[in-house]
Amino acid sequence: MIRVVTLEKIDPADMAFLTATLYRAFGLGTEHAGDRPVPRDAEMDDGRLDAVKFLQDVAPVRTFADDKVLYITSAPLALPPGPLGEPPCWGFSQYGGERAVITTSKLPERGVTEASIETWRRRLAREAIHAIGHLWDLHHCYDAKCAMHPSWSPALPANPEMDLDTFCREKSERRIRLAKT
Amino acid sequence: MRGPPPRHPDEQREQLPAVEGVIADAAELQPGNRVVYPNQGVCEVVGVEEKDIAGQKLQLVRMRREEDGAAVLVPKNKVPSIGLRRVATGEQIEGVFHFLAAQFEDPELDWKVRHRDNADRLIAGGVLGVAEVVKGLHSLSRIRPLPAKEREQYDNARHLLVHEVAVSLGVPPALAEDYIDYALMPPAGVKFDLKPPPTPVLLPSRPKRRRPAATEEEGIEDLGLGDLGLGDLDLGEALAAVPEGEAAEGEGAEGAEGAEGEAEGEAPAEGAAEGAEATPGAEETEEEAAPRKARKAAAPKVPAPKAEKREAKRAAAKEPRRKAEKPAKAEKPSKKPAARKAAAPAKKAEKPAAKKTAPKPAAKRGGKKK
Ligand SMILES: [Zn+2]
Ligand SMILES: [Zn+2]
């Protein structure tokens, strides 16, 4: 089961698109599990949220074995700088674990036209699949058409597909199948 | 930047400088030390224990794989030959990042050479060797999609690198992976102030014969298995993992595959991992293990479907044991062990497909033995 938790209000149609897409991508029931407040400890001076702290401190939701929880925030997320600097952050996951968070702050404007809303929804779904993919032990993928390709990659098309490539899909299917047995 | 380094044409393995941090003697290991077992990942040393195997007292180093809590046992005298090394230092990790971010012009295009070299890098190349595999295959993927076997190798190498970087830097794995890919495929417009990358690890020349080195043969005799024809199999790496595997079961199928010359990068890893995982159930006796090895020795060239069947059998056999070992892993209640363990048999399912697509294994075998 995938439980989606929002930190701000979200259009019910956007949520319906997201849960349907996640269900298709992983074959797992997906539901909106309500709202939670922003964890104060994760707030940084520059207005961003520390993604690592966020996952440690955010209020939990009730889960059962192998449930995955995806938090969605509109606040920009930040990662601690690494050896070559700070990677941009679309989302962050506890690899092989339970919680992931994604931000809508880097998505293209949602806008009001049917086309712009569709683009926004698809892009949100892609980031959600990426984040949940990490929860199911997926690593990044070199295929720019795969949702596990890093979201910042210059090779990523402007309107990326919201799908896993064959390798990643099969790997996630195996992990999910085995978790179920 | 140059591509992968050349092999030393004639030099013996022993004459090459050891990779930094390699444990040359089990006496160096203290409980609490964190070490990297090539192809297995980061382990914490628990201690040394003595076991009676086939009437011989064997000193075993017990380790715990950090990622999933799996128990790993290595005979003390095998420690120098399995390439156990200390977790990369901050300096080594820095070098890895400057290497990952450097321009890479010429991926090895001969897949036979590449696959073999990459398997060696994962075993003997230290953390930089692992990074070389990731970067080399990544560069190649930009020219054309990787064949199934190398796609798997790429993912395995990535998994090992992510976890070693995570442990060395003290960060969560997903963050380590973001750091790695920030270097490997930086966002548009990002330029790094790079230092010259460290010198790539020199690979030893492959022995002409596929027989294990003398020390390894001694090891086999120690286990009373010398008469099973194991000496003819190049199980240097896999064999070291056998007793800890006590799940020599896993070794059986996988080890044979490794000896066949296919996917040795993957096979021993997988096999040894199996062994490692099955270990908590450690009660398996050598009598059980030996027949399996005999089977392996008797039919080293296992066609794919048979290997698959065996794999399935192993998976089935493993199931109860897995449950039994749960309590032992109480300190790590996550589903990881199950997921990981279960992953191996499933992984197998892909192999036949990969084999079917091309007559590669045969070609590769030939290539490797020369
Ligand atoms: Zn990611
Ligand atoms: Zn992929």
**What ipTM does this complex have?**
0.97
CATH of the domain at A8: 3.40.390.10
- The residue range of the domain holding A145 is 2-178
Distance A148 CA to ligand 2 centre (A): 5
A1 contacts A64 by C-beta, under 8 angstroms: yes
Q: Is B133:B104 a contact under the CB 8 Å cutoff? A: no
Structural fold of domain B26-86: Thrombin, subunit H (2.40.10)
What are the structural domain ranges in chain B? Answer: 26-86, 91-184, 233-332+346-369
Q: Give dist(CA A69, CA A93) in Å, integer.
A: 10
Cβ–Cβ gap B181/A150 under 8 Å: yes
Considering only CB atoms, B192 lies closest to which of A84, A95, A152, namely A84
In terms of CATH, what superfamily is B91-184?
CarD-like, C-terminal domain (1.20.58.1290)
Hey, is A2 helix, strand or coil?
strand
Alpha-carbon torsion, ordered B252, B257, B263, B266, to 10 deg: -10
Ligand 1 center–CA A127 separation, angstroms: 9
Classify the phi-psi angles of B170: left when phi > 0, otherwise alpha if psi is within -120 to 50, otherwise beta.
Answer: left
Tokens of B274: 């199996």
The total number of structural domains in chain A stands at 1
- Rounded CA-CA distance A70/A94 in Å is 11
Rounded Cα distance between B208 and A122, Å, is: 55
Q: Return the ligand number nearest the Cα of A79.
A: 1
A/B interface, count of CB pairs below 8 Å: 107
* pTM of the predicted protein model: 0.71
Interface residues on A facing B, Cβ-Cβ cutoff 8 A: 52, 65-66, 79-80, 82-85, 87-89, 92-97, 134, 137, 139-140, 142-143, 150, 152-155, 167, 170-171, 174-175, 177-179, 181
Collect all residues of chain B within an 8 Å Cβ-Cβ radius of residue A170.
Answer: 350
- Distance from A72 to chain B by nearest Cα, in Å? 18
Beta-strand ranges (E) seen in A37-89 are 49-50, 68-73, 77-78
Q: What is the pLDDT along chain B (370 residues), one digit of tens a residue?
A: 545 555 544 444 445 556 778 898 888 899 999 999 999 999 999 999 998 888 888 999 999 999 889 999 999 988 888 889 999 999 999 999 999 999 876 778 888 889 999 999 999 889 999 999 999 999 999 888 999 999 999 999 999 999 999 999 999 999 999 999 999 999 999 999 898 888 877 776 665 444 444 333 333 333 333 333 333 333 333 334 433 433 333 333 333 333 333 333 333 333 333 334 333 333 333 333 333 333 333 333 333 343 334 334 444 443 443 333 333 333 333 433 333 333 333 333 333 433 333 333 333 333 333 3
B342:A178 CB<8 A: yes
Q: How far is the CA of B134 from the centre of ligand 2 (A)?
A: 15
